[in-house]
A and B are shown apart, each in its own frame.
Chain A
Amino acid sequence: MANFLQQVVSGLASGAIYGLLGLAIVIINRSTGVINFAQGEMATLSAFLCWTLIDHGWSFWPAFGATLVLSFAGGAALQAVVIRPLQSGPLLGVVILTIGLLIAINGLDTWIWGGAPRQFHGPFSTAPIRVGGVAFSKQDIGTIVVAFVAVALVGLLFTRTRLGLGLRATAVNALESRLVGIRVSTMLAIGWGLAAALGAVAGVMAAPSLFLEPNMMQTVLLYSFAAAVLGGMSSPLGAVVGGLAIGVALNLTGTYVHWIGGELRLATALVLILLVLLFRPQGLFGRAAVRRV
């Protein structure tokens, strides 16, 4: 039982990271219909930035804060400079461009920091804390808390602020948004900035347990896609819950279903994507827009 609970919490910690990156994917997908394949590499780049700041003597939290700000600015700039010129063209062009970005950022990371895995010392120790005879890792608990705070802040931004209303309106109908006076191009850039900042949280939280190297987030990105698909691709809450569910499911199957073990984890996620798309393409939380004609 104790082992089971430990596995659940550790699954929630990795699931929180999938959920954060899944949420970033959903935010961009909702606003423009684009799947951003570079989301994982953007997160890795953010983690490298944070590592560099810490390497220059910053302590973790200021470095983390600065990374979030830089990632937001970088994401917004990327949208304005690279994505916007293609925005009026076919969707497929933008999607392929994000694949190009994936390769470019990966190359940039390798060029600057090299391909060797680095140790990233996170803010939380791996020491266990004991609650009623069960040992949880501080790092796992810390990751879950940070992810929860990030998701809650983004949720409040979207539902409680004027900016959030503008972001939602842009996602629903860009033309109508322009007619009520919203600068849609600004909103799209802010959306990319938010996604990049969420990705930065995911990347920095993932780095201590994964080792920092240019390909660090590639597998994570696949789990995040699974999370987003499970949640219904258009549902922010769905992506987060989907991420947590996948984290826990993968951890439990890896622990208790011995023939799956570590090797088939990725395949399990892909089978999950396939099953969801086959039997519930709108995902667990996705809903078809209600419309009376």
Chain B
Amino acid sequence: MSLLELREVAARYGEIQALHGVSLSVGDGDFVAILGANGAGKTTTLRAISGLVKTSGDVVYDGSKIVHRTPEGMARRGVAHVPEGRGTFGTLSVLDNLRLGAWVQRGASQRDLAHVFEFFPRLYERRAQQAGTLSGGEQQMLALGRALMAKPRLLLLDEPSLGLAPIIVREIFGVLQQMNESGMTIVVVEQNASIALQRAQHAFVLETGRVVLSGEANDLQRNESVRRSYLGY
């Protein structure tokens, strides 16, 4: 049963065609990585799903084709999108950021907050601090924590590893795996193909706005051209 399906989704920014008809399918409970070079259309694919760009083609979510997608509408349907650059509210406190995550739940329960603080004890220590003063890793944790508060069915993550130390990247992907094991479907866009392929079950490779390769993450890890282009060995 697929939770999300894209059929020939195309998008353009003005004159520039960013997606040339992307088709992909994400199963319920899946952990999917979208790989590709800069400008391949990875970010645009996520933006297309959550309604941040206008598209042609179909997006089917949870069994129904959703024609008029808006970010707030998709959030209400259970899609949490963490954009690149750790989407946090810089001048609001860590706690307020987490409360905002629970906006679609109509308020944050103490239990959910405690749950997030269990995953990320650092956030508890810094709960009263302005989010903008956190380190890059902490901000990514906050972005994830905020997404957790929404209890989404589908989590869209754009470049969570960007600019972070390897140890923090491993920590973050570890949390993603736990979230996935508890039933959350995850789609992660990554330049860091090696960690993404280690943790994900399925992967799609984008090139110039098209899916050029897809399959089990294990198989792609052994694929000659993936290794040359994205893994560097």
Contacts and interface: CB of A to CB of B under 8 A. Distances in A.
Interface of A: 162, 165-166, 168-169, 172-173, 175-184, 289-292
A169 B81 CA distance: 16
A12 B106 CA distance: 40
Contact of A179 (B87, B91, B92, B132): B87
Given A179-B83, A180-B150, A291 B103 contact: no
B99 A165 contact: yes
A282 to B, nearest CB: 14
A165 B100 contact: yes
Contacts of B135: 292
B92 A166 contact: no
B92 A184 contact: no
B70 interface: yes
A40 B176 CA distance: 52
**Which of A165, A173, A175, A184 has most B Cβ within 10 Å?**
A165
A172 B71 contact: no
Given A180-B150, A182-B103, A165 B87 contact: no
A181 B150 contact: yes
A182 B150 CA distance: 12
B132 A168 contact: no
Contacts of A291: 90, 132-133
Contact of A181 (B76, B83, B88): B76
A168 B103 CA distance: 13
Interface in B142-198: 146, 150
Contacts of B39: none
Interface string B128-148: 001011111000000000100
Nearest to B99: A165
Nearest to B101: A180
Given A180-B75, A182-B103, A290 B89 contact: no
B132 A180 contact: no
Contacts of B96: 165, 168-169
Interface of B: 50, 52, 70-72, 75-76, 80-83, 87-92, 96, 99-101, 103-104, 106-107, 130, 132-136, 146, 150
Nearest to A172: B89
Q: Which 6 A-B pairs have the closest CB atoms?
A: A181-B75, A178-B71, A181-B104, A291-B132, A172-B89, A181-B103
Contact of A169 (B52, B71, B80, B89): B89
Contacts of B80: 179-180
A292 B134 contact: yes
A178 B133 CA distance: 23
Given A168-B92, A168-B96, A180-B146, A289 B132 contact: yes
B72 A289 contact: no
Nearest to B132: A291
Contacts of A289: 90-91, 132
Nearest to B135: A292
A178 B72 contact: yes
19 contacts: A162-B107, A165-B100, A169-B96, A172-B91, A175-B52, A175-B83, A176-B88, A176-B89, A178-B71, A178-B72, A180-B100, A180-B104, A181-B71, A181-B76, A182-B103, A290-B90, A290-B91, A292-B133, A292-B134
A166 B103 contact: yes
Contacts of A292: 132-136
Given A169-B92, A180-B100, A290 B132 contact: yes
Contacts of B52: 175
A178 B107 CA distance: 16
Given A173-B89, A289-B91, A181 B72 contact: yes
Contacts of A290: 90-91, 130, 132-133
B88 A182 contact: no
A182 B99 CA distance: 12
Contacts of A173: 87, 89-90
Contact of B72 (A162, A168, A169, A182): A182
Contacts of B87: 173, 176, 179
Given A289-B132, A290-B133, A292-B133, A179 B89 contact: no
B148 to A, nearest CB: 12
A292 B132 CA distance: 6
Contacts of B91: 172, 289-290
Contacts of B107: 162
B142 to A, nearest CB: 12
A20 to B, nearest CB: 24
A179 B135 CA distance: 22
Contacts of B100: 165-166, 169, 177, 180, 182
A179 B75 contact: yes
A292 B140 CA distance: 13
A55 B91 CA distance: 47
